[in-house]
Amino acid sequence: MILPREAYSGNLVERSFVCEVCVKAKYQRKIKRKPAPRTTRPFELIHSDLCGPITPESVSGLRYFILYIDDFSRMTWVYFLRGKTAIEVVSVFQEFEARVEKHFPNWPIVRFRCDNGRGEYDNSLFCGILRVSGISFEPSPPYTQQKNRVSERMIPTVVTKARAMILDSCFRDEFWAEAVNTAIYLHARSSSRSVDGLTPYERLFDEKPELGHLRQFGCVAYKLIPEAQRKGKFAERAKKCGFLGYVHETTKIWRLWDPLSKRVIQASHVCFVESEIIGA
């Protein structure tokens, strides 16, 4: 069957034809690489995507992580989940939204862009939360991941950095969540072409980030044992741990792995030996 089609050329209207069989047999996806206009203020547009399930589970029993990316600054936040149900995703989004409202009260979230995953995004519960908050919902059409390209590109970038840190540190794969969290922290303090050579941190907070506290992932870190926890006058004053990452935006508190108690701890009085890795 031949379908008529009108083609406009100047002021003339030319009639052409489309072969239905040819369209069905040969049609391919056409991707237009047209740069999307950038936002003009923080949190005008948030990109999001979910990654998982990840095998093995993290040391805390987590299997997924979700990213929220500010289009203006490319600042990225990560949250970890045990599953990807609507309730869990809504819970972490409300936590993220509350954080934005508290720390950036003059810049509310306006638009939310993601894929069309029905379990985590395109469902009545999550859409209802967005409507109540006055946030526009912008899911990409099915099978068009390029429409959500900011978060689609960010996930492999973060995973690659985390994989490299795990391999370099000799930590087991179960520490992937700690590595991902550290990769996000470092990304915020790394220059990027998407923000004109600035760091996302600098673009968002309008000041250069402090870098003197950065340490090598997985290196040996001796944590000071408080006097009340020492076993005697001549007992050890420090415990050998492994460096895992940072605590929020602080520069004087670190996350450590205690191999004796098999748990993650936080400490501020730490002696690092970056030439030595602890492994786990």
Mean pLDDT is highest, among 26-30, 136-140, 154-158, for 154-158
Residue-range domain boundaries for the chain? 45-205, 219-277
pTM of the predicted structure, to 2 decimals: 0.85
What's the average model confidence in pLDDT over 27-55?
A: 83
Between 141 and 182, the more confident residue is: 182
Model pLDDT, residue 29: 65
Q: What is the pLDDT of residue 146?
A: 55
Question: What is the mean predicted confidence (pLDDT) over 134-155?
Answer: 78
Nearest CA among 69, 78, 65 for reference residue 204: 69
The tokens of 3 are what?
């379908």
When pLDDT is cut at 50, 70 and 90, the band that residue 4 belongs to is low
How many residues make up the chain in this entry? 280
- Long-range contacts at 78-87 (CB < 8 A, ≥ 24 apart): 78/158, 78/180, 78/181, 78/184, 80/177, 80/180, 80/181, 81/50, 81/52, 84/50, 84/52, 84/117, 84/119, 84/120, 85/119, 85/120, 86/119, 86/120, 86/123, 86/125, 86/126, 87/125
- What band does 62 get if pLDDT is binned at 50, 70 and 90? very high
Q: In the predicted model, is pLDDT for residue 142 greater than 80?
A: no
**Beta carbons of 182 and 76 less than 8 angstroms apart:** no
Q: Which CATH code of 3.30.420.10, 3.30.230.10, 3.90.420.10, 3.30.1490.20 fits the domain covering 45-205?
A: 3.30.420.10
Q: What is the mean pLDDT of residues 140-151?
A: 66
Report, as an integer, the average pLDDT of 36-62. Answer: 92
